[in-house]
Amino acid sequence: NAGVTQTPKFRVLKTGQSMTLLCAQDMNHEYMYWYRQDPGMGLRLIHYSVGEGTTAKGEVPDGYNVSRLKKQNFLLGLESAAPSQTSVYFCASTSTVVGEKLFFGSGTQLSVL
């Protein structure tokens, strides 16, 4: 039982490049979330999903897209990376079965030059 796994752990992009961050959970959780955390700041919600095939916008969705084609995976895409998207990205999942406690991944450090 690996929990929540994020790949990659580190990535450096040039402005305008695209990439996809993968979040995978093996706990059969319905709900999944993507957050970003800038230095000295709290976590800000980018997008979230309440189930396979459904997604919704969070606090800071601009510049990001997401997909949840399979229940266990939640993908975060950057179509045209900007320096303002330099951040640490965290994925989380939860379920009503576990009292909606969030389980977080270890994060992806993304730098956009």
Partner 1 sequence: DAKTTQPPSMDCAEGRAANLPCNHSTISGNEYVYWYRQIHSQGPQYIIHGLKNNETNEMASLIITEDRKSSTLILPHATLRDTAVYYCIARRINTGTASKLTFGTGTRLQVTL
> Which residues sit at the interface with partner 1, rule CB under 8 A?
4, 30-31, 33, 35, 41-45, 48-50, 56, 58-59, 88, 90, 92, 94, 96, 99-107
Smallest distance, partner 1 to C-beta of residue 16, A: 27
Amino acid of residue 83 = P
Distance CA 80, CA 14 (A): 9
| Cβ proximity to partner 1, 18 vs 109, nearer residue | 109
Please spell the DSSP secondary structure of 47-92, one letter per residue: EEEEETTEEEE-SS-TT-EEE-SSTTEEEEEESS--GGG-EEEEEE
Report how far residue 88's alpha carbon sits from residue 109's, in angstroms, rounded to the nearest whole number. Answer: 4
Q: Considering beta carbons, is residue 17 or 61 the nearer one to partner 1?
A: 61
Q: How far is the CB of 45 from partner 1 (least distance, A)?
A: 5
Instruction: Name the minimum Å distance from CB 11 to partner 1.
Output: 15
For partner 1, the closer of residues 66 and 92 by Cβ is: 92
Distance CA 108, CA 6 (A): 7
